[in-house]
Amino acid sequence: MTSDAAIEALSEADARAELARLATEINLADAAYYQRDDPHLTDAEYDALRQRNLAIEAVFPHLKRKDSPSDKVGAPVAEGFSKLQHRVPMLSLDNAFSPSDVYEFVARVRRFLNLKDDAELKLTSDPKIDGLSLNLLYVDGDLRRAATRGDRDYGEDVTANVMTIPDVPKRLSYSSNSWPTEIEVRGEVYMPSDAFAALNQREAIDSGRTFANPRNAAAGSLRQLDPSVTESRSLGFFAYMWGYKSRDFAETQTEANSALSCWGFQTNPLFRTHDSVESLLEAYAEIERQRATLGYDIDGVVYKVDRLDWQARLGFASRAPRWAIAHKFPAEVATTLLEDIDIQVGRTGSLTPVARLTPVTVGGVVVSNATLHNEDEIARKDIRPGDTVTVQRAGDVIPQITGVLDPDRKDRPAPWVMPETCPVCASPAIREVDDKGVEDVRRRCTGGLICAAQTVERLKHFVSRQALDIDGLGTKQVALFHERGVVASFPDIFQLDARIEAAGLPPLSEWEGFGETSAAKLYSAIEARRRSGFAAVLRGLGIRHVGRTVSGLYERHFLSWSRFWETVARAAAEPETEDAEAARAELAAIDGVGNAAVDALVSFYRDPVSAAMLTALDAELDVLDGEAASDDSPVSGKTIVFTGKLEKMTRDEAKARATMLGAKVSGSVSAKTDILVAGPGAGSKLKKAETLGIKTLTEDEWLELVG
């Protein structure tokens, strides 16, 4: 594998193979982005591929491929659209990722033009709109045709759709002497933030699918075969450049920008002219600060040489002009406004502060919420509602606020204070102290099952794949049943039909979103779970510190559901006796179980509401006893890791089977791992296992091994 190797360490054969791999990956990414409006890479991942390709070509120029991505722009026209040829090719822009890149860009321009350091060099800046590039041909002031960028030479004919966009003038304004007889006006189609939010709301109701970000929504809206769909999507357009022109109409980029505005186009109000790199970087910082409030998505700032005769002298490289560059914002970091701080109550009572943000695209995904972790973290970062904040999202990690940009503003409110009562049930919210005197960083609601928020979250957990796995009973259905008062506790799930009737509600088959078939399937799925395993039910109760691992350990130790709860009852007896101490010791003596889990079990059992619920649940369920773990299986005592997609069983089934065979299941690969079971799509874990020389099995080989 050469994909992670340092370029200076590549042999010529490695470099040739790496260039082939990069060409394939970039072509696939281009097709997904430009043709299907469904990118599978983030901007940062895509940029990294292109940068690596350029770097290898710089070291091995003789290996540059004829189909090198460094010479290509966009992707061929998608099926369903006719092709239009651009009079002048539509190229892309080179990227700058740091201030030093911007300084180097300006230095290159000076060297190319043979300008001294003190010679005047004016440059322009304007936001880089994150949308879809469009080429508009006007003849005698009338819009004749419109095309997407396509593969730079040919684009998709979207003329009928563009005619529905209000920002695109169908007839140029001003006097006939102001615009050339023929001109290609270029710019970016985008979807405003409010239109994007409204569209996703409609799509969620109509189809259950939503767009990941405004750029995808804009591209998908423009590239419709039915223009009426485009018209309904409220698209906008900013003009910023031109291609072919039958005559010159300006001497500078600044004059040209004014001309476009006079002709009836929307030009960006943040367009500025500068005479130094420092001024460019100040504009970059200012635009980044305003990013959250612009009302449309941007992903950087574009700098251009102002004089058009110098642009002509500078010309073009293979796929980009030498006179312009895009200074990109960090792909996984964005700036936005913290509108408010809400409190979410989890199933174990933890109060989590959540930032409500002005929506902003981070790493290709629109983010409107971010975790603030706990009150100590908020105090440490001094985060307050109304602050302009930086938001970070790396990979699939939940977005986090990393800092405040305007801590010295005059109208800043007092520091935010965590409430000391639950916002849902008004029970005291406390920070527990462990037996070593260490205070928990989280504040927790003490209401237990009387807290509606905890109840709903516990119900969702109870029916989830991690617990009873009731097919067709997801978070939306649980929330609906709880809201209508028919499911308030775990036993109610198994009495759903009767409780709906008792509440005077129509049969489930008549509810919106249900029908005869779906209602019957749900009832059947619920009935199928009346017989459930020990560990699954215990895990489903949502008792703090009693998760997947501890539940499995208790199942293998006690085997009997009734004997386990008899032991818990003895440990919970008050006042404490020798028998209670012995029971507690048995619960805590299992390797992998700590005192925290025992304390949580005892507290759960001592709570009258929880105890009554458990009794009612036992009346509804037949909890299957556990099986003793094997000590003579081929995997007994071994550490197993599962990765990739398993096709013949679920991941949970595979883990449960391995555990019953006496294996230890881990979620990460290390030197202690004995076997990695890898299904399709296995990634970093498989690579690490190969590096460490760990035995790797396919799913079929694993099933053959364990019988």
Cα–chain-centroid distance for residue 611? 40
DSSP 230: H
Contacts of residue 685, defined as CB under 8 A and 6 or more positions apart, other chains included, come to 641, 643, 668, 669, 676, 678
Q: State how far the alpha carbon of 180 is from the alpha carbons of 153, 238, 253, in Å.
A: 22, 20, 16
Cα(383)–Cα(404) distance, integer angstroms: 7
Please, what's the largest Cα pairwise distance for the chain?
102
| Helices 578-588 + 561-571 axis angle, to 10 | 130
Choose, from 64, 116, 128, 170, the residue flagged as catalytic: 128
Cα(337)–Cα(404) distance, integer angstroms: 10
Q: By three-state DSSP, how is residue 5 classified?
A: coil
| Helix, strand, coil content of the chain in percent (nearest 5) | 40, 20, 40
Catalytic residue check, 128: yes
Given a contact cutoff of 8 angstroms between Cβ atoms, the answer to whether 468 and 540 are in contact is yes
Give the Cβ contact number of residue 45 at 10 Å. 16
Residue with tokens 């419709």: 224
Cα(490)–Cα(454) distance, integer angstroms: 12
In the chain, the N- to C-terminal Cα span, in Å, equals 34
Query: Tokens in use for 476?
Result: 């939306």
Cα(606)–Cα(572) distance, integer angstroms: 6
Q: Please name every residue paired with 148 in a beta bridge, in sequence order, or none if there are none.
A: 134
Cα(422)–Cα(44) distance, integer angstroms: 41
- Quick check: bond before 575 cis, omega within 30? yes
Given a contact cutoff of 8 angstroms between Cβ atoms, the answer to whether 331 and 363 are in contact is yes
- Element (DSSP H or E) covering residue 189: strand 182-190
Cα(669)–Cα(684) distance, integer angstroms: 9
Residue with tokens 């299992």: 590
Q: Characterize 589-620 residue by residue with b for buried, 16 or more Cβ atoms within 10 angstroms of its Cβ, and e for exposed.
A: ebeebeeebbbbbbebbebeebeebbebbeee
DSSP β-ladder status, 675-678 and 695-697: parallel
- Quick check: bond before 385 cis, omega within 30? no
DSSP β-ladder status, 95-96 and 123-129: unpaired
Single-letter amino acid, residue 111: R
The catalytic residues are 128
